[in-house]
Amino acid sequence: MSSSWGYGRAFYRCLLLFAVGVVLQLCVGDVNNSFLQYPWGLILAVNYLYILVLLHTMRKKWRWVEQLSDTYASTSSLASMVVMTIIFGLTRQEPSTEGLVGLLGFSRMTSSWPFNLLLLYFTTTIGLSVIDDLHHWRHRRLAAMMSHIATFVILVCGIFGSADKLRVTVNTHLERPVVEGTDGRGISRTLPFAITLKEFKMDEYPPKLYILDTKNESSSKDFLSVESLPAEAEIDGWHLRVEQMIDMAGRMPDATDWREMIHTGAAPAVYLTACNKVSGEQYSGWVSCGSHIFEPSYLFLGERFAVAMPRRDAKRYLSRVEVEHMDGQREKFNVEVNHPARIGAWRIYQVGYDTARGRWSTTSVLECVRDGWYSAVHIALWLMLAAGVVMFVTAGGRSLARKSKAKIADVKSKSK
């Protein structure tokens, strides 16, 4: 068979799948993956693997099966995934069904029939390649085999486990146990445990001072970070010098001065002098970002400019929570960004807080995620990581073209 016909046939197959996908999209709408919920996703995944093994054993009898696992099939399915991913990247993802892209499902790509059919075909070609690799183990193809296996496991878990992930957003308040949250569709979900927020802690970066242009409603690109005293900088022709800084300050309703106040709602405040480098104008006064209790303070530099302090950036924030299981057993966890708490198949993530109150927030937004396919994907990702290392170490040997000749010779010798 000539290679041009081989490619032609393989690409026609992709085109046919795309056309079938478009027809299905127009007739039945988006792919509804709810039928893949446990245990059906797992049952279908096992059956899919069984069918792949069956196809592999039957490949000599049925020509079309053999054609599914040849180089043309893998290359064409890969090329079709490149095209679909580029369309994915160029299309804004939103629930809209308007226009041609909306009608074809491209604006909801992960739920569109053309994308899912081509993804399943791509997964199938990799799966058949993996079975062939395992059947005919070749040491020199170790990196390729490892990455094939890892990609296949990731894709199978991604497809058949797509309906099993549950994300529940929980708004917790200090000392109030919560057992319910809402999922991504706004449906109320009950958790198998109760969460009580015991403490919310936040570290912040030092306050920053910017020059505001009230006429253009813009702020300076440069800023003065007040980490220690004395702090000074030149910003947009103004020399700023901070003379006093209070980390926790407050201001009485009629007062202009800020003073130390160790109390809920306290805000950072600085006393500074600003001097114009050209005109010599000089202004002094207090500047603060304020809080949910205190109004912010600005230092006006004439009619147009002002020195302002935006709310401080969060450095880290964590929630100390107590989890009570159904059997009455209690556990304490610190939940922080990048450090989720793990409770069986569930993980609790720190998502947010009351931004109006900042460090004084008494609420914490947590997200409880249940992912039954986590372990399989996790192992596959580490295998992929190892495959990348093996590929780097073994790169620089024979060229891809020479490798192909060797592979062909390999196949010929096997067939003899």
Partner 1 sequence: MSWQYLIWFALCAVAFWLSGAVVAFRSRRSWVATSLSLCGSIVFLSFIVGMWLSLERPPMRTMGETRLWYTFFLSLAGVAVYSRWRYKWILSFSTMMSVVFICINLFKPEIHNKSLMPALQSVWFVPHVIVYMFAYAMMGAVTLFALYLWLRRPARRPTGEEMGVCDNLVRIGWSFLSLGMIMGALWAKQAWGDFWTWDPKETWAAATWLSYLLYMHLRPRLREDYHLAFALIVFSFILLQMCWYGINFLPSAQGASVHTY
Return residues touching partner 1 (CB under 8 A).
Answer: 3, 71, 74-75, 78-79, 81-82, 85-86, 88-93, 109-110, 143, 147, 158, 165, 167, 205, 221-223, 225, 313-317, 336-340, 347, 349, 367, 369, 371, 374, 377-378, 381-382, 384-385, 387-389, 391-392, 395-396, 398-404, 407
Min CB(314)–partner 1 separation in Å: 6
Least Cβ distance, residue 302 to partner 1 (angstroms): 25
User: What's the min distance (Å) between Cβ of 109 and partner 1?
Assistant: 7
Nearer to partner 1, 22 or 202 (CB): 202
**Smaller CB separation from partner 1, 208 or 292:** 208
Among residues 12 and 392, whose Cβ is nearest to partner 1?
A: 392
* Nearer residue to partner 1 within complex by CB, 338 or 415: 338
* Of 185 and 221, CB closest to partner 1: 221
Q: Shortest Cβ distance from residue 259 to partner 1 (Å)?
A: 27
Beta bridge pairs of residue 339: 336
Smallest gap, in angstroms, from Cβ of residue 327 to partner 1? Answer: 26
What's the min distance (Å) between Cβ of 368 and partner 1? 9
Q: Which is nearer to partner 1, 218 or 225 (CB)?
A: 225
